[in-house]
């Protein structure tokens, strides 16, 4: 489905933004204002500051405001494509593999550490 998407209108949760950036989908973000610790606003700010998304605060969200942003982005192909490219650059398509590699590396180092602890002679009590 993602390859067919021209524009997303969505909240700014971490997984949503992860998927959008991996696919380079331009987005109009409406962060959930009551999210724990304001994390959705921080997530949105990170993309907006990099010009990789557009933000409409929920208190400013009206049909007219949303329609205006959608029309602007859909009619201005170069602007939408620039936002998409900036989003794509922020995406980490290999994140799952990188995390799995890190877990395996960590497990190996801990296993090697426990082996070396077992191999050391016991210390005599003073």
pTM, two decimals, is 0.75
The candidate with the shortest Cα–Cα distance to 26, out of 93, 72, 92, 94, is 72
In the chain, what are the domain boundaries?
2-90
Residue 33: closest CA among 11, 64, 51, 1: 11
Residue 28: the pLDDT is 98
Q: Edge-to-edge strands of the sheet including 54-55?
A: 8-10, 27-29, 54-55
DSSP code per residue over 3-65: GG-S-EEE---HHHHHHHHHHT--EEE---TTSGGGHHHHHHHHHHHTTSSEE--GGG--HHH
- pLDDT tens for the chain, 126 residues: list them: 888 999 999 999 999 999 999 999 999 999 999 999 999 999 999 999 999 999 999 999 999 999 999 999 999 999 999 999 999 999 888 888 989 999 999 999 988 876 666 556 556 555
pLDDT at 96: 84
The CATH number of 2-90, from 3.60.110.10, 3.50.50.60, 3.40.50.2000, 3.90.550.10, is 3.40.50.2000
| Residue 106 in tokens | 């960590």
């Amino acid at each position: 489905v993602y390859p067919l998407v021209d524009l997303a209108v969505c909240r700014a949760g971490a997984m949503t933004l992860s998927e959008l950036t991996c696919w380079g989908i331009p987005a109009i973000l409406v962060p959930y204002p009551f999210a724990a610790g304001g994390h959705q606003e921080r997530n949105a700010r990170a993309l907006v500051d990099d010009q990789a998304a557009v933000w409409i605060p929920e208190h400013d969200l009206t049909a007219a405001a949303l329609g205006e942003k959608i029309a602007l982005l859909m009619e201005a192909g170069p602007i939408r494509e620039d936002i998409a490219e900036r989003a794509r650059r922020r995406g980490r398509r290999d994140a799952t593999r990188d995390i799995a590699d890190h877990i395996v590396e960590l497990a190996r180092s801990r296993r090697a550490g426990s082996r070396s602890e077992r191999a050391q002679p016991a210390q005599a009590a003073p």
